[in-house]
Amino acid sequence: MIEFQAVTKRYDDGTVAVDNLDLTIADGGITVLVGPSGCGKTTSLRMINRMVEATSGTILLDGQDVHAQRPATLRRGIGYVIQNAGLFPHRTVLDNVATVPMLLGAKKAAARERATELLATVGLPAELAKRYPAQLSGGQQQRVGVARALAADPPVLLMDEPFSAVDPVVRDDLQDELLRLQSELGKTIVFVTHDIDEAIKIGDKVAVMRVGGRLAQYDTPAALLANPVDDFVAAFVGRDRGYRALGFLSAHGVEVAPLATVALGSPVEAARAKLDSGWAAVVDEAGKPLGWVSAAGLSTMEGSVQAADLVSGGSLYVADTGGRTGSLRAALDAALSSPAALGVAVDSAGAVVGSVSAEAVLAALADARKAGEVPS
Ligand SMILES: Nc1ncnc2c1ncn2[C@@H]1O[C@H](COP(=O)(O)OP(=O)(O)O)[C@@H](O)[C@H]1O
Ligand SMILES: [Mg+2]
């Protein structure tokens, strides 16, 4: 557990970067500090590992005042990941990571073995290990940065805007990867970002800060979206917060209706016989969706249904089939992004099980409201 108790940081020029911060960060979760530029996020983070010294107040790590510990000892238990990864440019990827176990006393061979394992853990192909950082993409460099931070197996990981410099698609992958890693490793992660969407996606708890280094609200993402404490937080979490809040409601109650399917390569005649109006999902041998055909489209086609004939589909919704279930947001997005106005519901193996409509999602939302599952 990390506790900020009345922590203030005033820099030498008089700037108050953090003002009387009280914050308790639980073990084993991802706590996100989010807020506009200059609100004191980096300063707060760096006071934990004493790269910045607090002016007043106390920071406790597992009940011990960080100020009473030698910085080198303290930092051995705290990994640190920054934007652009901060890698050594003249060392290979493998050696960038192996440096850490070697500093901790491991022999070179053992350190490299450990580094190889870590690169696999963060999802980097082994053949990249011999390259230099400049020969990797931004997203790959960030993964190396995470591997290096994990090398000493620290219980605490501080991450300062680690994904802000990579493009949105790669950022999304890195976020998913971090969530997967965290579910395996169970570190205590303090993650700084200025991006509220990122905060809401990856945070177990989110601390919204305002300029002047004041804590505006500290809550779960769902509570933040449902009940912003004031106009600043409401504006910061955004206009479409009602829609985004659907991401926290499981779609287990959404009706999955039957959906006509056509196997790729099947005769157009047979497909027409199945479909007098509307749309059918075209599937592969495993039943996975490839796209759509409409009755109108089939009427102009000849021979068999080919990949080139398909209208591309929208997002997929993983229906409740005993395993994980998508959220109401995923179900609604599937319905809204589909050319057929029907979202494709799939099972956990990715095979089509039926369809969901926007109307079905809204009906499920109304039921959830009645059952008191939606904070109001
Ligand atoms: N070394 C420093 N000296 C003086 N002021 C600083 C220093 N570092 C940061 N600041 C100021 O402290 C405030 C908070 O900065 P910072 O913690 O970097 O915010 P954030 O990470 O949220 O953008 C800003 O006004 C910034 O200009
Ligand atoms: Mg910063």
CATH class held by domain 261-370? alpha beta
Which of 4, 7, 15, 196 has most ligand 1 atoms within 8 Å of CB, for mutation?
Answer: 15
Long-range contacts (CB closer than 8 Å, 24 or more residues apart) made by 258-265: 258/354, 258/355, 259/342, 259/344, 259/345, 259/352, 259/354, 259/355, 261/287, 261/352, 262/293, 262/305, 263/305, 264/290, 264/305, 264/306, 264/307, 265/304, 265/305, 265/306
User: How many whole angstroms from 9 Cα to the centroid of ligand 1?
Assistant: 10
pLDDT at residue 321, rounded to an integer: 65
**Which is nearest to 88 in space by CA: 139, 134, 151?**
134
C-alpha 262 – ligand 1 centre gap (Å)? 59
pLDDT for position 242: 83
**What is the distance in A from the centroid of ligand 2 to the CA of 89?**
23
Amino acid in position 219: D
pLDDT at 343: 94
- Within 6 Å (CB) of ligand 1, which residues are found? 11, 13, 15, 17, 35, 37-43
Mean pLDDT per segment of 10 residues, for the chain of length 376 residues? 97 96 96 94 96 97 95 91 84 93 87 92 91 91 90 91 82 88 92 93 95 94 91 87 84 90 94 90 95 93 92 87 77 91 91 94 88 68
Which ligand 1 atom minimizes the distance to the CA of 160? 21
Ligand 1, from 42, 194, 196: best to mutate by most atoms within 8 Å of Cβ?
42
pLDDT of residue 324: 66
Q: Which atom of ligand 1 is nearest to the CA of 39?
A: 22
The residues, any chain, with a CB within 8 Å of residue 100's CB and separated by 6 or more, are 111, 148, 151, 152
pLDDT of residue 374: 67
What was the pLDDT predicted at 5?
98
Which pLDDT does position 82 carry in this prediction? 86
Cα of 213 to ligand 1 centre, how many Å? 9
Q: List the shell of residues around ion ligand 2, using CB closer than 5 Å.
A: 42
Q: Atom 20 in ligand 1: which residue has the minimum CA distance? A: 38
pLDDT at position 325: 75
Pick the residue whose CA is nearest to atom 25 on ligand 1. Answer: 38
Read off φ and ψ for residue 311, nearest 5 degrees: -90, 130
Two tokens, residue 139:
């997203």
Task: Give the fold, CATH level 3, of 2-238.
Answer: Rossmann fold (3.40.50)
Which ligand has the nearest atom to the CA of 37? Answer: 1
Closest-CA residue, ligand 1 atom 6, reads 11
196 Cα to the center of ligand 1, angstroms = 20
Show me where the domains of the chain are located: 2-238, 261-370
Gap from CA of 40 to ligand 1 centroid (Å): 6
Nearest CA to ligand 1 atom 26: 38
